[in-house]
Amino acid sequence: MSRRKCFFGCEGKLNLFASPKEESTRQYWIQFLFAGQQPTVNWFLCSRHFSEDAFLNRAQYEAGFSARLLLRDGAVPSVKGRVKESEALASSSQQTPTTRYRHIGGQTDPLPTVSVATQFCHQMVSVGTQLSYSTLKNHVRSKAVQVSMCNTAGTEPSQQDTRLKLSSTPGKASAPSLGVRPAKRPRLELQEEEEEDEKKCSVNAQPHDSTNDLDDSPSEMSGMESTCDYTDAKYIVFESCLRDLFQTCPVCRWECVVQQRSLGTFVSFSQRCPNCQYTRKWQSQPIKMNTPVGNLQMSAAVYFTGASFIQMEKICKAMNLQMFHYDTFRRHARMFLEPAINHKWKTDQQKLVEHLKEKDKIAVGGDMRADSPGPTARFGSYTLMHLDSNNIIDVQLVQSNEVGGSSNMETEGLRRGLDFLEAHHLNVDYIVTDRHAQVQKYLKERNVEQYYDVWHLEKDLSQQLENLAKNKEYLVVRKWLPSIKNHIYWTATASKSGPEKVAKWKSLVNHLQNIHKHEDPLFPRCTHPDRVSRDPNKWFQPGSSALNKVEKLLLDKQILRDVEKLSHDHQISSLEAFHSITKHFTQKNDVLSFIGRLCRLYLAAMHFNENAKRDQSTSLEGKAVYRIMFPNCRTGQYITNPIQMEPTFQYVSDLMKLLFKKIFKDPTRYIEDLNKISIPEDRWTQFERP
């Protein structure tokens, strides 16, 4: 077995190093030694051909604490030719310059003479600058791109950690999250999968979950922090187009070693030329506190607009658009998004309460919406609205198992809402609700004046009359359905007095028989002019079965009591419109946690309050615009609805600003406020898990 020797024939006490296993570094060694010729087998280099910073333990070795020098990963030789031991010592102590060569087109040209101990590094950081003409091939302007370049002669850069660790949450404040142990903060880390090639190395990383402490984050992340704002415009860029920017060295036109790292919507490229040692780093989005801003903003955009992450993920997968996992989205929601929503809603609610305190008494409307039809509803949300301004005052979310069943959720939600108004010293003049029996009993016990919404009564009566009109003998009932509906609204709004409402309601039976004089002293005669029709088929015949059926239905004792309490001034149609808005933010079939559903209800309330007083759209001539709708296609009857102006989404911009300006920096206080909300136990906790 032959004795190992240095490739350049150096003599004396030597520390020999074999060719590295890393392909890109190995190719540089071969180019440095053989200048493009066929390499020999079993060749070694001694420590005299490397700069001082190429070793891990140079100081320990010279002090006698280490028997052998250890070469850094990725270190490359910098000194050619045979070097004697005395020359090596002199070079180390007196900092004598050395000469490096580069091989281009069969010619060997000397590189600039630079000291081994003192390395020259020219570094530029440019924001909103132009990339090199050689890199871009054509003159292309790069906007808001940070580029870091380092041209090094006489040495190689120090060891670089090829493992880039990125966290989905920032490195500040170990605040407790909802249902998560606060001991450690969740992190995401990149693992690289290397693809070896003769001239280039491309590393694609896939994210995975880990629970490393934030203190373990590499110092490399501090250099990648940037000042780009979250309001910057974003674009969809293909990976192949990005790679074209980094494949060729802008200095010597050699093909570079390119490392790619990705985490969700984030991607970064590290470029290094094996010939002239030109280096550059580029990232697709700013990083703040170890978190890519684009990932967090994507989660915020999905949540704040009431969209579904599952649907968004399907869209991204369909076009191969890189996206982070659902666990990351939920981590963003717990740590930042839900605290932001809760804080903004409480702030807006407090401003509305302070404004309503200026009034002596307020008229409110209340109604509940369940998360699923029937008695199996898990959640019920009760909403209180200020009827004069159509603003949502309060939203209470009730879980069925905490009140003994879904039938009790509406009463409990109303109680919590009224307690909120009393706690903030708001005096309720009256409340408009539906005709729920438990609500009637509770408001009577609480001594709160109650009125009924007209639409709920009209809906119940219309359904019964339509069922009656299905019989061929009662076809005349169908002709009178529109008039009976209009009479209900006219009766409610014509007078505030309950007995007068009942008298006007009873006059409907006389109208059906073409009689316009009444026996009631409060309402002896109709106010409209008499119109006598000669067609007997338009009227109910006295003593007929159809008249008896309709009269029995309209003059029922319970109906008369409800008519007496119909609301004369305000209705809760706007509250029904709010329930339609909540369908977008909280689908009935969505599986959401208690806090998740509550925050989405807050978003729906913020959206509704912002757009509650939209003006009606007008044409170019200044005329109001309407749309024709057919609510019941079977009858062919249509209605006209005014078209309002397009809604605004200023609350989303406010939430984004709150998130990145305050909560993202230190979410501790906001998480503590969210944790103050009482969360009931899930229904299945009472059963033993198999």
Q: What angle do CA 80, 81, 82 make, to 5 degrees?
A: 135
Q: How far apart are CA 33 and CA 45, in angstroms?
A: 10
CB 314 within 8 A of CB 334: no
Of 239-243, 296-300, 395-399, 543-547, which gets the smallest average pLDDT? 543-547
Both 139 and 213 in one domain: the answer is yes
Which pLDDT belongs to residue 405? Answer: 84
Specify which of 182-191, 329-338, 454-463 reaches the highest per-range mean pLDDT: 329-338
Structure tokens, 657: 């600003």
With H, G, I as helix, E, B as strand and everything else as coil, classify residue 108: strand
Cα Rg for the chain, rounded, in angstroms? 39
CB atoms within 10 A of CB 43: 17
Q: Strands 101-104, 165-166: parallel, antiparallel or unpaired by DSSP?
A: unpaired
Range of the domain at 134: 120-334
DSSP letters spanning 26-64? HHHHHHHHHTTSPP-SS-EEEGGGS-GGGBSSHHHHHHT
With H, G, I as helix, E, B as strand and everything else as coil, classify residue 670: helix
- 125 inside domain: yes
pLDDT digits (tens, 9 = 90+) for 628-687: 887 765 666 777 888 888 999 999 999 999 999 999 999 999 999 999 999 988 877 777
Q: How far apart are CA 433 and CA 335, in angstroms?
A: 38
Q: How confident is the model at residue 491 (pLDDT cuts 50, 70, 90)?
A: confident
- 685 inside domain: no
Both 92 and 180 in one domain: the answer is no
Query: In 260-325, which ranges are continuous DSSP H helix?
Result: 293-304, 309-318
For 137, phi then psi, to 5°, come to 65, -50
Which pLDDT belongs to residue 309? Answer: 93
Q: Which residue has the higher pLDDT, 216 or 344?
A: 344
Specify which of 6-10, 217-221, 608-612 reaches the highest per-range mean pLDDT: 608-612
Q: Which residue has the higher pLDDT, 452 or 127?
A: 452
Answer with the one of 110, 132, 147 that is the final residue of a domain.
110
Contacts of 521 (CB under 8 A, 6+ apart): none
- 656 inside domain: no
Both 304 and 208 in one domain: the answer is yes
Does the pLDDT of residue 623 top 90, yes or no?
no
Mean pLDDT of all residues in 571-591: 87
Both 142 and 248 in one domain: the answer is yes
State how many domains the chain has.
3
Per-chain mean pLDDT for the chain: 76
Both 26 and 162 in one domain: the answer is no
CA atoms within 13 A on the CB side of 548: 4
Both 38 and 150 in one domain: the answer is no
Which pLDDT belongs to residue 630? Answer: 79
Which pLDDT belongs to residue 387? Answer: 93
Of 7-21, 22-36, 82-96, 306-320, which gets the smallest average pLDDT? 82-96
Q: What angle do CA 649, 652, 653 make, to 5 degrees?
A: 95
CB 73 within 8 A of CB 159: yes
- 161 inside domain: yes
Mean pLDDT of all residues in 342-357: 96
Question: Residues 84-116, buried b or exposed e (16+ Cβ, 10 A)?
Answer: eeebbeebeeeeeebebebeeeeeeeeeeebbb
Closest CA to 136 of 249, 239, 233: 249
Both 554 and 473 in one domain: the answer is yes
Both 91 and 171 in one domain: the answer is no
Answer with the one of 542, 564, 586 that is the final residue of a domain.
564
Q: How far apart are CA 550 and CA 506, in angstroms?
A: 12
With H, G, I as helix, E, B as strand and everything else as coil, classify residue 627: strand
Q: How confident is the model at residue 413 (pLDDT cuts 50, 70, 90)?
A: very high
- 433 inside domain: no
Q: How far apart are CA 530 and CA 515, in angstroms?
A: 9
Both 233 and 284 in one domain: the answer is yes
Both 165 and 265 in one domain: the answer is yes
Residue 28 corresponds to which amino acid? Y
Q: How far apart are CA 531 and CA 515, in angstroms?
A: 10
Q: Which residue has the higher pLDDT, 225 or 443?
A: 443
Does the pLDDT of residue 388 top 80, yes or no?
yes
Does the pLDDT of residue 245 top 70, yes or no?
yes
Specify burial of residue 674 (Cβ count, 10 A radius: 0-12, 13-18, 19+).
buried
First to last CA, the chain: 68
pLDDT digits (tens, 9 = 90+) for 414-433: 999 999 999 999 999 999 99
CB 269 within 8 A of CB 282: yes
Which pLDDT belongs to residue 470? Answer: 83
Both 42 and 182 in one domain: the answer is no
| Assessment of whether the complete model's pTM goes beyond 0.75 | no
pLDDT digits (tens, 9 = 90+) for 38-58: 777 778 888 888 888 888 888
Answer with the one of 59, 84, 110 that is the final residue of a domain.
110
Which pLDDT belongs to residue 656? Answer: 95
- 449 inside domain: no
Both 50 and 136 in one domain: the answer is no
- 592 inside domain: no
- 136 inside domain: yes
